Structure 1
Amino acid sequence: MFDEDGSLDPLLKFLLYAVLALAIGKMLWEWLTEDVSRWITVDLWGLIADHPWWTGLIALGALAALILLTRLLSFLFDAGTSTHVYDDPDEDYASSAPLSEAVDPDVLTFKMKQLAAMSATGFEQACADLLARDGFRGTRRIGGAGDLGVDVTARDDDGRLLILQCKQYQNPVGSGHVQKFNGTARLHHGADLPIMIALNGFTQPAVDFAQHHQLILMGRPELKKWAHGHHLYDVLGIENSTQ
């Protein structure tokens, strides 16, 4: 009956549980088929038949309460999952720049949480829109399968070609991605200014490689300034004859 350690034999334990489950199931069945069935078919129906108006009012009230509860839960759920409300003061462009450098509130800006919530395509398009905001010409989003390392292209007023690759990765971009970009940005696309953008920055080996090959990297701090209204060339320290 018992094992060496004093516990009940597993087979006997199973049989006891099965008998207990059958007994509980039988009790529930009798209660449902007798008491509950009688309450629905006799008591409740009799109450409805004797007081139809009160029953109707109660039913309408219950339905209205259910609708209100459903809308309230839907509102609370939307508020908890919305990606369009950003109130982190650290992501406000005014907090990241001196008052003397504050940008015009009417210009296009993005908060970092907005950029993080976008799809990969949306992130690329946001970068293209920021280029257009800064006055670059012929801005186009090209990114997609077979783009050979180019997500956005544009030209500045000096005619220089900008090739942007936009990475929205959750982790810093590694050296391998920067090496691939180096192999196509100038040789294949003829970039005058090859710029790689990473939402969450780059690893140190990636930074070292880019410096050696004169690639322009835009990490999170630089992207934040650009997205918050500063001109791309001001952020990157690039000279422009028209500025």
Structure 2
Amino acid sequence: MIALAAGKMLWKWLTEDVSRWITADLWRLAAANPWWTAITVIGGLTLLLLLVGLSGAGTYRYVDDAEISDEPEVLTFKMKQLASMSASGFEQACADLLARDGFRQPRRVGGAGDLGANVTAWDGDDRLVVLQRKQYSSPVGSGHVQQFNGTARPHHGADAPIMIALNAFTQPATDFARRHALLLVSRRELKLWAHGQHLYDVLGIESAA
């Protein structure tokens, strides 16, 4: 009974006296003293910001494994990009693709008097690769392939003479290249190479490169 009576008295004190003091007396005091009002408002805002900061301190954003990748981006080109390049730009793109594939010392050597060599590089088996590019809008004919055959090995010492055509080769050009062991990269092979495949995989060549 004593405990019940004490509880009732405490409840009455909290609900009547304390609430009246908070809602009436304290508000009257704050209104009568502007400085106290400012201090009360600033203190309340500070406390609110502190509580918000503490509540967010332990939060974190879940990062899916798909967002994390240790693999570097692979150099690729679209066929439209290659088609719109200048002669030197196309040659540089070929040199960059060779570097991507692990060829050593890829160099753009095309220009006046290049005698059919536009890009050179060394593969993993120490074979010299000599590239000649043709950006013709029509298929490359047999005459151009014959000219490349006359300089690639005799003059440049190519171990792997490769001719690249943006828009394919004629059948006579393909037949001549096959008879003289010249490697042709037609539009289909060029697209595979530019889109990320190793050049030797596209051509079916085994190498340590």
State the TM-score, normalized to the length of structure 1.
0.56
Matched, 1:217 2:169: no
Match of 2:170 in 1: 203
Counterpart among 145, 151, 157 of residue 178 in structure 1: 145
Q: Which amino acid aligns with 2:172?
A: P
CA distance in 2, matches of 1:224, 1:157: 23
Asked whether 1:136 is paired with 2:103, we answer yes
For residues 144-193 of structure 1, the C-alpha deviation after alignment (integer angstroms, 9 at most, x for no partner) is 01000000000011100000001111111010000000000000011000
Give the aligned residue type for 1:235.
V
Distance 1:209 1:105 in 2: 40
Change (3 A) 1:117 1:185: same
Please list the CA deviations of residues 68-125 of structure 1 after superposition, one character each: whole Å capped at 9, or x if unmatched: xxxxxxxxxxxxxxxxxxxxxxxxxxxxxxxxxxxx7811000000000101111111
Number of the residue aligned with 1:115: 82
Q: Which residue of 2 aligns with 1:154?
A: 121
2:8 is matched with none
Provide the rounded CA distance (Å) in 1 between the counterparts of 2:116 and 2:85.
20
Correspondence 1:127 to 2:94? yes
The CA distance in 2 between the partners of 1:168 and 1:122, in whole Å, is: 11
**Gaps in structure 2 of 5+ consecutive residues:** 1-70
Task: Tell me how many residue pairs correspond in the alignment.
Answer: 139
1:70 aligns with none
**How far apart are the structure 2 equivalents of 1:236 and 1:105?**
25
Q: Which secondary structure does the structure 2 equivalent of 1:166 belong to?
A: strand
What are the within-5 Å matches in structure 2 for residues 10-29 of structure 1? none
Tell me whether 1:229 sits opposite 2:192 in the alignment.
no
Q: 1:193 aligns with which of 152, 160, 174?
A: 160
1:86 corresponds to which residue? Answer: none
Larger Rg: 2
Q: 1:239 matched to which residue of 2?
A: 206
Q: Which amino acid aligns with 2:143?
A: G
For 1:198 and 1:121, locate their aligned partners in 2 and report how far apart those are by CA, in whole Å: 15
Q: Percent identity?
A: 76
Counterpart for residue 53 of structure 2? none
Q: Following TM superposition, by how much is the alpha carbon of 1:212 offset from its aligned partner in structure 2, in angstroms?
A: 0.7
Q: Secondary structure at the match of 1:123?
A: helix
- 5+ residue gaps in structure 1? 1-103
Cα 1:107–1:146, aligned 2, differ >3 Å: closer, same or farther? Answer: same
